[in-house]
Amino acid sequence: MKVNGIVRKVDGLGRIVIPREFRKLYKISLGDPMEISCMDNGEIVLKKLDMTLTLEELAFPALDALREAAGGSILVSNTNNWIGGKGSWAAEYAGKELPLDIKKGLEERRSFTSDCGTHMYVEPIAGDADVFGALYIPGETSIPAVRAAATLLGHALQKF
């Protein structure tokens, strides 16, 4: 294993700053969940958690019920890609990168309508400080069950 080291001192509260170069290289942003592990040989490993799996585990069991409420299709995304869904949209969008207008809308933590080939209503999945992804339904109006699901998912993911 190649070592790329930068020396940092531990402050009075036990904190160490992750150098900007590493945060940029590994796309670590403010509020990203980090896992700290201690190895048997004394090494301490710091790893950025991938919230996609957690989002899938929490959202996918509810998609059938949300699809019925939405009247056709429903999609789930993280902040970069559509990760799955139910209905005709699922095969068309799953795994593809989100368009720039949706990424910008998610950064603003607001519900909005997007037209990326199909009119879809976007309901962000947000916690207190972070946006984890969104739920997408056909049309231009919110559905209370989808809004409630996005809120619940945001609160559930906030604990990480």
Closest CA to 98 of 110, 80, 112: 80
CA distances from 20 to 27, 34, 148 (A): 10, 15, 37
In this prediction, residue 75 carries a pLDDT of 92
Closest CA to 139 of 114, 121, 124, 115: 121
- Residues 86 and 33 occupy one common structural domain: no
At 2, is the pLDDT very low, low, confident or very high (cuts 50, 70, 90)? low
If one counts every other C-beta atom within 10 angstroms of the C-beta of residue 37, the result is 9
- Residues 147 and 89 occupy one common structural domain: yes
pLDDT of residue 51 exceeding 80, the answer is no
- Residues 36 and 58 occupy one common structural domain: no
- Residues 2 and 77 occupy one common structural domain: no
**Pairing of the two strands 131-138 and 74-77:** antiparallel
If one counts every other C-beta atom within 10 angstroms of the C-beta of residue 87, the result is 18
User: Mind listing the pLDDT tens digit for each residue in 62-107?
Assistant: 888 888 888 788 999 999 999 999 988 888 888 899 999 999 999 9
| Residue 61, phi then psi, degrees to nearest 5 | -60, -25
| Residue 82, phi then psi, degrees to nearest 5 | -75, 130
pLDDT of residue 1 exceeding 60, the answer is no
Closest CA to 26 of 15, 18, 36, 37: 18
- Residues 11 and 58 occupy one common structural domain: no
Q: What angle do CA 78, 79, 80 make, to 5 degrees?
A: 95
CATH number at residue 57: 3.30.450.40
- How many C-alpha atoms does 36 have within 13 Å on its Cβ side? 5
User: Mind listing the pLDDT tens digit for each residue in 16-42?
Assistant: 999 999 888 888 887 778 889 999 999
In this prediction, residue 100 carries a pLDDT of 92
Domain count, the chain: 2
In this prediction, residue 41 carries a pLDDT of 94
- Residues 85 and 152 occupy one common structural domain: yes
CA distances from 19 to 24, 25, 92, 130 (A): 9, 10, 40, 22
In this prediction, residue 60 carries a pLDDT of 85
Mean pLDDT for all residues in the chain = 86
CATH number at residue 44: 2.10.260.10
- Residues 56 and 38 occupy one common structural domain: no
Domain enclosing residue 100, as ranges: 51-158
Residues pairing with 115 in the sheet: 119
Please name the residue that has the structure tokens 């972070």. 130
- Residues 44 and 82 occupy one common structural domain: no
pLDDT of residue 121 exceeding 80, the answer is yes
- Residues 61 and 43 occupy one common structural domain: no
**pTM score, whole prediction:** 0.68
Q: Which H, E and C letters describe 138-151, residue by residue?
A: ECCCCCHHHHHHHH
